[in-house]
Amino acid sequence: MTFSGWLTIVLFVVILTALAIALGRYMAKVYTGERVWFTPILAGPERFLYKVLRVEPERGQDWKAYAKSLIIFSLAGWLVLYLILRTQNAFYVPHGLNPLGYHSAPWNVTFNTVSSFVTNTNWQYYSGETTMSYLSQMIGLTVQNWLSAGVGIVVAVALVRGIIGRSGKSLGNFWQDLVRTILYVLAPISVLGAIVLVSQGVIANFSNYLTAHTVTGLTQTIAMGPVASQEAIKMLGTNGGGFFNVNSAHPFENPTAFTNFFEMLLVLIIPAALVFMYGRMTGNRRQGYAIYATVMVMFLGAVAVAYIAEAHGSPAQHAAGLHTQVISGSGGGNLEGKEQRFGIAGSALFDTITTVTSCGAVNSAIESFTGIGGAIPFSNLSASEVIFGGVGTGLYSILLYVLLAVFIGGLMVGRTPEWLGKKLEAREIKLAGLGILVTPLAALFATALATASHAGRASISELGKGPQGFSETLYAYLSQSNNNGSAFAGYTGFIQPSAGNVGSHGVTFADLLGGLVMLFARFGPILLTLAVAGALAGKRVTPAGLGTMRTDNGTFVVLLIGVIILVGALTFFPALLLGPIVQGLTGHLY
């Protein structure tokens, strides 16, 4: 551990918080229809889009109508993306946007990939640079990076509207929310982000891949592509699907320590801002601060454990008598699978951020983390996307937990539990309970199927038949069910003998199971969340009194953390025992 390591972490949190408060205020204005700085520029395009989409933006939708629009939109997006990816080489001639003439990946891998990008998961069985044409990356995958992020955010906005709704059933208008999200929130930040990244050396071109001759006389192919624009939205939309296989460890995706810091901010800025937006929209900013405190405590706990564990080094290093201390210039600790330019703090922080959120980008190899450090991504995923989580997803997931915590805690102060003045009754408990259940249940079921069946075991790497194989499988389905997308390398769904997909085939079981898990664990909670919003929207509000449980103070933060950890731990403890915990205890490096 180094001073500068800790300083990076502290600095990051301070800057993030300051930016998120400002963005939260901005977003609250956007979604309540107030005038913002961009209004003069964007109002025109906004109106144009409504005309094209043929929607009446001001017409409120109840939860069912809102959900229907969302499902139709996502389904259409799914079909379009599937078509694009499957016709990547329709004309069998190389062209500017498919310079290497890549064929399409097989149907099963494509099913998985499409489901993955439409659900904001960005789980990748494929490697971008050997599978996708520039066209597929740009108008296929990147477009879904935008749209799936937008869908996540509008669900959170709709839930907040339901919570604060004073009358009627309207949750707002899906199309209006989506258009505003993209124009007013995602676009300005990703344009800025792309420019910053390009300035640091992230590439943006349509060149052929370069061939380099190395000093040892070998040749090396250097992949090219329109990376910067995809990189910005990949981080901002907590998508995480890298342009290249090694994701944010690649120098063209994440060239410097500065871009590393910047990309981390991009990932967390919207999830953090949404929390402050929630506070503002409820009319009590402390509500937002309480949730921010809750997730920040859990986040910092995870970062600290990961950093300390990695800086401490692996048992193998200690056994071999290698120095693991910081000695003049050498960082010490476990550097396997980490990029020198990010260092241990920059890697621990980055991978914690991308696993607490649903981003899933990585800048180091999680499978090369120490036993305890590697348990952090597992435990982050076990918390079901509530620690910041994906854009929108994080807020609505934690709000479902808030509802549950209010119910249990509210009873203990001797009143029918009330949340911001609304009484919680059977219907909300049923919907929120199911909403919380979906993700863990999908993860456990899928892991069980995958470990119990021959078809499932086929995906496990040769090296990992023991606890490692279990960890790989568990992580794969935890990641996909949380719509995260990061991977614990080794778990395969795609066999690709050579670049360009000729002769490649997918592992149907893993591809389909993963794809279905992603779809189920994305749209199940979304529908249940919208239903919760609908149930809350029409409720009468009781003014708070001395006897009302507060949801904006320290006691509630403790209660909420307790509920989240307890539910997550009780659900996943047995499974984690057989994978990461055994590995951690035996001191094996993953």
Partner 1 sequence: MSAQMPGTHERQAISLFQRDIVWRALLDSVKKLDPRVQIHNPVMFVVEIGSVITTVTWLIQVVGGRPLGGGHEPAWYTFVIAFWLWLTVIFANMAEAFAEGRGRAQADTLRAMRKETVARMRDGSTKAASELTRGDIVVVPAGELIPGDGTVIEGIATVDESAITGESAPVIRESGGDRSAVTGGTRVTSDQIIVEITQEPGKSFLDRMITLVEGAERRKTPNEIALNILLAALTLIFIVVVATLRPFGLFAGTPISETTLIALLVALIPTTIGALLSAIGIAGIDRLVRRNVLALSGRAVEASGDVDVLLLDKTGTITIGNRLASEFVPMPGVPESELAEVAQLSSLADETPEGRSIVVLAKQYGIREHDMTELHAEFVPFTAQTRMSGVDLDGRRLRKGAGDAIIELVSREGGSPPPELQAQLDRIGREGGTPLAVARDNQVLGVIYLKDTIKEGMRVRFDHLRAMGIKTVMVTGDNRLTAAKIAEESGVDDFLSEATPEAKLELIREQQGDGRLVAMTGDGTNDAPALAQADVGVAMNSGTQAAREAGNMVDLDSNPTKLIEIVEVGKQLLITRGALTTFSIANDVAKYFAILPAIFVTTWAATPGGKSPLHVLNIMGLGSPRSAIISAIIFNALVIPLLIPLALRGVRYRPIGASALLRRNLLIYGLGGIIAPFIGIKLIDLIVHNLLGG
Q: Which residues bind partner 1 (CB under 8 A)?
A: 404, 407-416, 421, 424-426, 428-430, 433-434, 436-437, 440-441, 444-445, 447-449, 451-452, 466-467, 469-470, 540-543, 545-550, 553, 555-556, 558-559, 562, 566-567, 569-571, 573-575, 577-578, 581-582, 585-586
Token representation of residue 92: 């069998």
Q: Is 461 exposed, middle or buried (0-12, 13-18, 19+ CB in 10 A)?
A: middle
Alpha carbon distance 385, 567 (integer Å): 13
Contact 399, 526 (CB under 8 A): no
CA 471 to chain centre: 20
Cβ proximity to partner 1: between 428 and 511 the closer is: 428
- Which residue, 75 or 569, has its beta carbon nearer to partner 1? 569
**Choice between 368 and 447, CB closer to partner 1:** 447
For residue 129, the minimal CB distance to partner 1 (Å) is 34
To the nearest whole angstrom, how small is the minimum distance from the Cβ of residue 187 to partner 1?
40
CB of 582 to partner 1, least distance (A): 5
Beta bridge partners of 418: 423
Could you give the CA distance from residue 78 to residue 519 in angstroms, rounded to a whole number? 11
Length of the chain: 590
- Tell me the one-letter amino acid at 474: L
Instruction: Give the shortest CB-586-to-partner 1 separation in angstroms.
Output: 5
Distance CA 407, CA 44 (A): 45
- The 3-state DSSP class for residue 334 equals coil
Question: What residue has token string 């997931």?
Answer: 397
| DSSP one-letter string for 340-402 | TTTHHHHHHHHHHHHHHSS----SS-GGGS-HHHHHHHHHHHHTTT-SS-STTHHHHHHHHHH
Of 159 and 549, nearer to partner 1 (C-beta) is 549
Q: Supply the minimum distance, in Å, between the C-beta of residue 415 and partner 1.
A: 5
Q: Which is nearer to partner 1, 78 or 509 (CB)?
A: 509
- Report the residue number, 178 or 399, with the smaller CB distance to partner 1: 399
Q: How far is the CB of 354 from partner 1 (least distance, A)?
A: 26
User: How many Cβ atoms sit within 10 Å of the Cβ of residue 83?
Assistant: 13
Q: Which is nearer to partner 1, 414 or 497 (CB)?
A: 414
- CA-based nearest residue to 504, from 3, 68, 132: 132
Token pair belonging to 283: 């009319």
Q: Give the integer Cα–Cα distance in Å for 424 and 403.
A: 8
- Min dist. Cβ of residue 451 to partner 1 (A): 4
Tell me whether residue 86 or residue 286 sits nearer to partner 1 (CB atom): 286
Select 195 or 452, whichever has its Cβ closest to partner 1: 452
What's the DSSP call for residue 106? P
Q: Which helix (H) or strand (E) holds 505?
A: strand 505-506
Strand partners of residue 226:
204
Shortest distance, position 450 Cβ to partner 1, whole Å: 9
> Least Å distance between CB 328 and partner 1?
37
Terminal Cα distance for the chain, rounded: 21
